[in-house]
């Protein structure tokens, strides 16, 4: 897969879809292409995150640690991004991601990503927009989930 | 310390001072003889006094004494010499006196110099010795740079002064007194005037000096503060730049320098004012002689000859007097400096020297329990950090401290001293026990690590260097040098412990000697997960294959073993090996073409552009046009990617093709290509474009330029490059040979003899693990590890990561066989998961080695309490709960 294919891939991720192609190319260039075999962990819950992963091919499971051992909460595949929260803020990983098939991913390092945002404010605005969308959606989902059970007090 | 410098000097150099006084007195004899001699030469042989006839002779070197009652006694009649003979003889005596005087001067000066240097050495050592014995609280008040300045610079003038401390006043005072007495003998009244003026000088000048002393003290303090601030700037550069406070720092420094300037300028003004008054008073005396003496002479009350004699004698007075005053100035100056320094180092609660006495015998294991008895710790601000805590740790017990046990751990580690109560071992206060017991049988590690500049190995073994354990026997020149070292050290009051001796206490690491030390400490390094870090440093180091020929051969042999191993594990795609007949996609095009590595990058870059060999060879192998096309593609991609970035952007570190400054150059070339066509660009520009290809790696840059056909051509060109390479270029390329060690490559490069595939996540991690395994199998592991021990950790260990430093600190505590291990959150820089693993490893390691020491571990993670016998819970400095683990099933819920 060539640089220009990766750019195409990045464009399909909501977080990056609004960015200009030249910047996506730079993002792809500074990122590493990595390959995992089945059953390998991309990262572990609790570790400090240093990179996000765009899955180019293959599948992975998102697991969280519970008292009864790891518990699978989701599955991710091609064209999705994992670990992106960690490259935006300094939180430990909230889950473990383990591959279930051989997997190819683009590793976007936190430092590089933040550098890009700092240098190209238009990129930061675009990211902000996506995050705000997500927040709005989460808020909506939350109130929907609460709504029927707890009537609003005030 | 003795607060008065003169007494300090007298106490330590009394004998030498007396000796030098005697020598100075002796040196006066030839000195005065040489004064008289010129007169004798001129009057005698030259003017002819006593040589009345040409044949007349005189006795030379006759020795006779005039004694009362006995008359003249002739010891030696002397030689009878004529006029020329006498001239020659006397001139030779003059020459001899010159030599003797010179030798005396030489001896006196070197003696005084040695005296001063010895005293300087003594005082510097004493100061450092005090630093080593400061109580812990004192270190919070002093700045390291200020201490260093005091020891290094501020006491320096003391050495220079020491030699003159007693000799100068004796000598100069004697001279001045003689002159004064002589004047008094000539004329009582004029003598009285001279004495009066001298007295005025002696009273006024020291008073004026008082101000000088105050200024001198200020100068010293401000300069010391300046050096403290400068070191703060260096240490805190990150914070300064991060907060854009550099201009605040500039203002602060400028203000300080202004103050220093003002003090120094004031000092000059006063100094020269004092000098002016001094000179004035000195010149007033002759004025009074001329005026009053002259008046008396006119009146006839004083005879003119006397007046001339008095004025003549006065000539000898100001010189010594001035020097005496200068000496006094120097004395007060160094006294102030000395007092200032001593004040800083005078701390009431210094450790007793006995506590730190050298002990070469192995420390006996501690018998009793380690206990805090009613310990209260109060910090500088007066808040209570530990409130009447009593806690006992039995030998072999594993105790976890939670919820703020850090201060107790520090008290156990003697890092803080209790304000009341005490920490005892078997009933004895640990602060009164010799450090040769507490420092060897109790180990302490925290996350606040200090790593010394030097090799990694030195730092790992640092905790074993308590005393010189071997008596080195030197031979020949080294032996006499060692003897000199010992005598000199004694004379300057320094210890003469041999720093070259083997200080490592192998026994306490469970080893018998240097040979099996590594084997013994390996489990410790493994337990704290430091081995892989050391290995990583080791395999990245380059070695001299000639010095380690056997090792290098072993490494080369490993190459095939590695291949087999990768094949059996089905990991062959992890490494792309260098094969003489195939293209290595993970290596640069340049590397593939040369099939070797470049040892001199600067020369290579130059040759690439200017050497005729490169101009023709590409043409010959039919790659020139391909490379030109590829170069243009690369240039276009790079320019597109990097055009908008500022030149100092960190992304440029990932750009191997060109520097940020070159981007506009290539933009211009691309512009030309577009407008004029590819062929019309100048030869130089074309070479610039072609040059780009040499750094291209397809899987890394992913521009999609390499085809199979191009790769085949490049491989075919290898032979041309190898055989056609002109002699002047041969030196900068080291060719790859499957059976030869690459001297310019690291150990790992040599084992791999290839490149790690780019795509594999943690590919280098995986390969390193395999290589480590192979080292183990081939019996090379410890040898490689030893190369890692040579790694220089840099100032303060800055070349290691924080996590590595903390692991190192934990390892250096664990290496020593102790009765108590105090671990004060030693692994904060590590991920939670890894911390947990290390704690478990350490317990398992101690278990396996058969050691059963007591462990006090300050924990943040309740999940680990199952490893411990007992958990002590703290809250606001008080011990609130202390129970055995199995008695507290509800503990985990309580903590979470």
Residue A128 sits in a domain whose CATH number is 2.60.120.10
Q: Where in chain B is the domain with CATH 3.40.50.300?
A: 370-448+820-895
Structural domain includes residue A22: yes
Query: What's residue B895's pLDDT?
Result: 43
Tell me if A134 sits within 8 A of A127, measured CB to CB. no
Stretch B657-665: mean pLDDT, rounded? 84
Q: What is the mean pLDDT of chain B?
A: 85
Q: What angle do CA B735, B739, B745 make, to 5 degrees?
A: 50
Tell me if B727 sits within 8 A of B542, measured CB to CB. no
Query: What's residue B856's pLDDT?
Result: 93
Q: What residues does B442 pair with on adjacent strands?
A: B820
Q: How far is A135 from chain B (nearest CA, A)?
A: 30
Query: What's residue B739's pLDDT?
Result: 86
Reference A122, options A5, A7, A22, A42; nearest CA is: A22
Which residues in chain B touch residue A42, judged by CB atoms under 8 angstroms apart? 761
Q: What angle do the packed helices B612-621 and B601-610 form, to 10 degrees?
A: 70
Query: CA-CA distances (angstroms) from residue B273 to B211, B267, B268, B459, B497?
Result: 12, 10, 8, 56, 51
When scoring B761, B763, B833 by the number of chain A Cβ atoms within 10 A, the one with the most, hence best to mutate, is B761
When scoring A8, A29, A51 by the number of chain B Cβ atoms within 10 A, the one with the most, hence best to mutate, is A29
Query: What's residue B823's pLDDT?
Result: 94
> What fold is seen in the domain B370-448+820-895?
Rossmann fold (3.40.50)
Q: What residues does A64 pair with on adjacent strands?
A: A71
| Chain position carrying tokens 């890009």 | A116
- This prediction has a pTM of 0.72
Query: CA-CA distances (angstroms) from residue B854 to A47, B823, B847?
Result: 31, 11, 12
Query: What's residue A150's pLDDT?
Result: 52
Record: contact B640-A25, CB cut-off 8 A: yes
Percent of the residues in chain B that have a pLDDT greater than 70, as a whole number: 97
What phi and psi values does residue A17 have, to the nearest 5 degrees?
-60, -25
Structural domain includes residue A149: no
Reference B377, options B352, B406, B344; nearest CA is: B406
First and final C-alpha spacing in chain A: 57
The rounded distance, in Å, linking the Cα atoms of B170 and B152 is 30
Query: What's residue B891's pLDDT?
Result: 46
Stretch A66-76: mean pLDDT, rounded? 85
Stretch B647-661: mean pLDDT, rounded? 80
Interchain CB contact of A32 with B (< 8 Å): yes
Interchain CB contact of A42 with B (< 8 Å): yes
Strands (E), B251-379: 370-378
Query: What's residue B179's pLDDT?
Result: 79
Confidence band, pLDDT 50/70/90 cuts, at residue B118: very high
> Which residues between 737 and 776 in chain B have a beta carbon less than 8 angstroms from any beta carbon of chain A?
758-761
Q: Looking at residue B464, what DSSP letter applies?
A: G
Query: What's residue A148's pLDDT?
Result: 60
Q: How many CB atoms lie within 10 A of CB B271?
A: 16
Query: What's residue B896's pLDDT?
Result: 40
Query: What's residue B210's pLDDT?
Result: 80
Percent of the residues in chain A that have a pLDDT greater than 70, as a whole number: 94
Q: Model confidence over B258-309: pLDDT tens digits?
A: 999 999 999 889 888 888 888 888 788 888 888 888 888 888 777 777 777 7
Q: What residues does B858 pair with on adjacent strands?
A: B401, B824
- Read off the tokens for B27: 């040196």
Record: contact A3-B832, CB cut-off 8 A: no
Q: Model confidence over B30-67: pLDDT tens digits?
A: 877 776 777 777 777 777 777 777 777 777 777 666 77
Interchain CB contact of A11 with B (< 8 Å): no
Query: CA-CA distances (angstroms) from residue B731 to B596, B735, B831, B873?
Result: 12, 10, 47, 68
Stretch B576-586: mean pLDDT, rounded? 87
Which residues in chain A touch residue B639, judged by CB atoms under 8 angstroms apart? none
The rounded distance, in Å, linking the Cα atoms of B795 and B799 is 8
> Which residues between 304 and 363 in chain B have a beta carbon less than 8 angstroms from any beta carbon of chain A?
none
Record: contact B651-A26, CB cut-off 8 A: yes
Q: How far is B250 from chain A (nearest CA, A)?
A: 28
Q: Which of A47-51, A66-70, B68-72, B77-81 has the lowest mean pLDDT?
A: B68-72
> Which residues between 777 and 836 in chain B have a beta carbon less than 8 angstroms from any beta carbon of chain A?
831-833
Confidence band, pLDDT 50/70/90 cuts, at residue B806: very high
Partner-chain residue, chosen from B641, B759, B832, that has the shortest CB–CB distance to A29: B641
Q: Which helix (H) or strand (E) holds B422?
A: strand B420-425
| Chain position carrying tokens 């999940």 | B863
Interchain CB contact of B650 with A (< 8 Å): yes
Interchain CB contact of A6 with B (< 8 Å): yes
Structural domain includes residue A107: yes
| Chain position carrying tokens 């890092």 | B415
Stretch B326-337: mean pLDDT, rounded? 86
Tell me if B194 sits within 8 A of B183, measured CB to CB. yes
Partner-chain residue, chosen from B642, B703, B761, that has the shortest CB–CB distance to A34: B761
Torsional class of B798: left (φ above 0), alpha (ψ -120 to 50), beta (otherwise): alpha
Q: Does pLDDT of B400 surpass 60? A: yes
Tell me if B869 sits within 8 A of B422, measured CB to CB. no
Q: Looking at residue B293, what DSSP letter applies?
A: I
Interchain CB contact of A8 with B (< 8 Å): no
Query: What's residue B488's pLDDT?
Result: 92
Stretch B685-691: mean pLDDT, rounded? 86
- Read off the tokens for B694: 């040499």
The rounded distance, in Å, linking the Cα atoms of B325 and B331 is 10
Q: How many CB atoms lie within 10 A of CB B773?
A: 13
Confidence band, pLDDT 50/70/90 cuts, at residue B198: confident
Interchain CB contact of A25 with B (< 8 Å): yes
Structural domain includes residue A147: no
The rounded distance, in Å, linking the Cα atoms of B391 and B396 is 15
Q: Where in chain B is the domain with CATH 1.20.1560.10?
A: 5-53+80-345
Confidence band, pLDDT 50/70/90 cuts, at residue B887: low
Burial of B487 (0-12, 13-18, 19+ CB in 10 A): exposed
Partner-chain residue, chosen from B641, B759, B833, that has the shortest CB–CB distance to A26: B641
- Count of domains observed in chain A: 1
Q: Which of A69-73, A103-107, B761-765 has the lowest mean pLDDT?
A: B761-765
Query: Who contacts B491 (Cβ-Cβ below 8 Å, separation ≥6)?
Result: B118
The rounded distance, in Å, linking the Cα atoms of B874 and B372 is 14
Q: Does pLDDT of B125 surpass 80? A: yes
Query: CA-CA distances (angstroms) from residue B634 to B626, B668, B711?
Result: 12, 14, 17
Structural domain includes residue A30: yes
Q: What is the mean pLDDT of chain A?
A: 83
Torsional class of B753: left (φ above 0), alpha (ψ -120 to 50), beta (otherwise): left
Q: Which of B65-79, B404-418, B680-694, B761-775 has the lowest mean pLDDT?
A: B65-79
Query: Who contacts B15 (Cβ-Cβ below 8 Å, separation ≥6)?
Result: none
Query: Who contacts A123 (Cβ-Cβ below 8 Å, separation ≥6)?
Result: A19, A23, A116, A117
Confidence band, pLDDT 50/70/90 cuts, at residue B731: confident
Reference A115, options A21, A31, A12, A56; nearest CA is: A31
Burial of B659 (0-12, 13-18, 19+ CB in 10 A): exposed
For residues A95 and B765, the model is more confident at A95
Q: What angle do the packed helices B5-41 and B164-186 form, to 10 degrees?
A: 50
- Longest CA–CA span in chain B (Å) reads 128
Q: Model confidence over B457-487: pLDDT tens digits?
A: 999 999 999 888 888 888 889 999 999 999 9
- What does DSSP say about strands B370-378 and B420-425: parallel, antiparallel, or unpaired? antiparallel
Query: What's residue B888's pLDDT?
Result: 53
Interchain CB contact of B703 with A (< 8 Å): yes
Structural domain includes residue A146: no
Q: Domain B5-53+80-345 sits in which CATH superfamily?
A: ABC transporter type 1, transmembrane domain (1.20.1560.10)
Domain assignment of residue A8, given as a range: 3-140
The rounded distance, in Å, linking the Cα atoms of B599 and B300 is 99
Which residues in chain B touch residue A25, judged by CB atoms under 8 angstroms apart? 640-641
């Amino acid at each position: 897969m060539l640089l220009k294919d990766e750019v195409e891939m990045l464009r399909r991720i909501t977080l990056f879809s609004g960015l200009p192609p030249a910047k996506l190319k730079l993002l792809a260039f500074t990122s590493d292409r990595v390959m995992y075999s089945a059953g390998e962990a991309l990262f572990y819950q609790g570790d400090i995150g240093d990179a996000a992963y765009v899955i180019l091919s293959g599948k992975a499971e998102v697991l969280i640690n519970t008292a009864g051992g790891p518990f699978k909460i989701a599955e991710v595949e091609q064209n999705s991004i994992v670990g992106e929260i960690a490259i935006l803020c300094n939180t430990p990983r909230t889950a473990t991601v383990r591959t279930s098939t051989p997997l190819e991913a683009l590793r976007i390092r936190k430092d590089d990503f933040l550098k890009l945002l700092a240098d190209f404010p238009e990129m930061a605005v675009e990211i902000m927009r996506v995050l705000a969308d997500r927040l709005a959606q989460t808020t909506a989902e939350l109130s929907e989930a609460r709504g029927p059970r707890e009537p609003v007090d005030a | 310390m003795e607060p008065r410098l003169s007494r300090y000097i007298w106490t330590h150099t009394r004998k030498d001072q007396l000796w030098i006084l005697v020598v100075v007195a002796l040196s006066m004899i030839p000195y005065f003889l040489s004064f008289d001699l010129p007169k004798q030469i001129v009057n005698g042989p030259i003017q002819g006094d006593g040589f009345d006839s040409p044949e007349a002779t005189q006795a030379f070197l006759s020795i006779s004494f005039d004694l009362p009652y006995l008359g003249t006694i002739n010891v030696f009649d002397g030689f009878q010499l004529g006029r020329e003979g006498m001239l020659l003889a006397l001139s030779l005596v003059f020459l001899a006196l010159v030599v003797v005087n010179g030798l005396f001067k030489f001896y006196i000066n070197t003696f005084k110099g040695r005296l001063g240097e010895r005293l300087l050495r003594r005082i510097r050592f004493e100061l450092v010795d005090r630093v080593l014995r400061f109580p812990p609280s004192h270190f919070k008040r002093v700045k390291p740079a200020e201490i260093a300045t005091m020891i290094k610079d501020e006491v320096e003038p003391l050495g220079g002064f020491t030699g003159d401390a007693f000799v100068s006043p004796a000598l100069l005072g004697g001279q001045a007194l003689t002159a004064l007495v002589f004047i008094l003998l000539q004329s009582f009244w004029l003598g009285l005037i001279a004495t009066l003026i001298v007295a005025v000088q002696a009273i006024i000048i020291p008073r004026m000096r008082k101000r000088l002393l105050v200024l001198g003290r200020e100068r010293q303090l401000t300069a010391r503060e300046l050096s403290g601030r400068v070191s703060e700037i260096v240490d805190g550069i990150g914070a300064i730049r991060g907060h854009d406070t550099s201009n605040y720092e500039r203002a602060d420094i400028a203000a300080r320098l202004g103050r220093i300037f003002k003090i120094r300028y004031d000092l000059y003004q006063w100094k020269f004012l004092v000098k002016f008054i001094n000179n004035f008073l000195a010149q007033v005396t002759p004025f009074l002689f001329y005026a009053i003496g002259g008046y008396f002479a006119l009146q006839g009350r004083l005879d003119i000859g006397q007046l001339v004699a008095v004025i003549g004698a006065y000539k000898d007075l100001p010189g010594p007097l001035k020097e005496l005053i200068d000496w006094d100035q120097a004395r007060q100056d160094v006294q102030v400096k000395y007092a200032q320094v001593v004040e800083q180092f005078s701390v009431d609660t210094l450790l007793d020297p006995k506590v730190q006495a050298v002990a070469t015998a192995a420390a006996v294991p501690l018998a009793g329990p380690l206990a805090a008895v009613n310990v209260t710790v109060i910090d500088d601000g007066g808040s209570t950090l530990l409130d009447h805590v009593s806690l006992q740790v039995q030998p072999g017990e594993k105790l976890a401290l939670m919820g703020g046990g850090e201060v107790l751990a520090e008290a156990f580690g003697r890092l803080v001293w209790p304000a009341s109560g005490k920490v005892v071992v078997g009933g004895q206060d640990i602060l009164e026990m010799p450090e040769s017991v507490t420092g060897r049988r109790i180990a302490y590690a925290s996350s606040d690590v200090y790593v010394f500049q030097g090799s990694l190995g030195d730092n790992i073994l640092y905790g074993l260097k308590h005393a010189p354990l071997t008596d080195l026997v030197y031979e020949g020149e080294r032996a006499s040098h060692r003897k000199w070292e010992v005598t000199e050290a004694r004379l300057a009051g320094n210890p003469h412990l041999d720093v070259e001796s083997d200080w490592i206490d192998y026994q306490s690491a469970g080893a018998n000697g240097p040979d099996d030390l590594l084997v013994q400490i390996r489990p410790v390094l493994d337990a704290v997960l430091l081995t892989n870090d050391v290995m990583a440093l080791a395999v990245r180091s380059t070695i001299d294959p000639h010095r380690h020929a056997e090792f290098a051969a072993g490494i080369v042999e490993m190459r095939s073993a590695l291949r087999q191993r990768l094949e059996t594990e089905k990991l062959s795609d992890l490494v792309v090996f260098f094969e003489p007949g195939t293209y290595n996609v993970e290596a640069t095009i340049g590397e593939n073409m040369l099939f070797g590595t470049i040892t001199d990058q600067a020369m290579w870059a130059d040759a690439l552009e200017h050497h005729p060999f490169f101009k023709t060879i590409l043409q010959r192998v039919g790659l020139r046009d391909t490379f030109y096309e590829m170069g243009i593609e690369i240039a276009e991609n790079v320019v597109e990617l990097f055009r908008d970035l500022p030149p100092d952007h960190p992304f440029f570190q990932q750009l191997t093709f060109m520097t940020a400054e070159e981007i506009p150059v290539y933009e211009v070339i691309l512009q030309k290509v577009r407008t004029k066509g590819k062929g019309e660009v100048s030869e130089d520009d074309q070479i610039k474009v072609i040059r780009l290809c040499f750094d291209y790696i397809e899987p890394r840059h992913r521009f999609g330029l390499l085809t199979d056909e191009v790769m085949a051509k490049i491989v075919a060109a290898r032979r041309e490059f190898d055989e056609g390479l002109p002699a002047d270029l041969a030196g900068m390329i080291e060719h790859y040979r499957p059976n030869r060690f690459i001297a310019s490559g690291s150990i790992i490069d040599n084992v791999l003899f290839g490149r790690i595939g780019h795509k594999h996540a943690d590919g280098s991690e995986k390969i390193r693990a395999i290589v480590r395994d192979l080292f183990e199998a081939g019996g090379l592991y410890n040898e490689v590890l030893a190369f890692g021990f040579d790694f220089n950790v840099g100032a303060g260990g800055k070349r290691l990561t924080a996590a590595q430093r903390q692991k190192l600190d934990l390892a250096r505590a664990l290496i020593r066989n102790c009765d108590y291990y105090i671990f004060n959150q030693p692994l904060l820089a590590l991920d939670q998961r890894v911390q947990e693993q290390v704690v478990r490893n350490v317990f398992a390691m101690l278990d396996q080695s058969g050691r059963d020491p007591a462990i006090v571990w300050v924990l943040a993670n309740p999940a680990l309490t199952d490893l411990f016998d007992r958990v002590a819970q703290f809250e606001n400095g008080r011990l609130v709960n202390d129970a055995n683990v199995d008695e507290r099933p509800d503990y985990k819920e309580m903590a979470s």
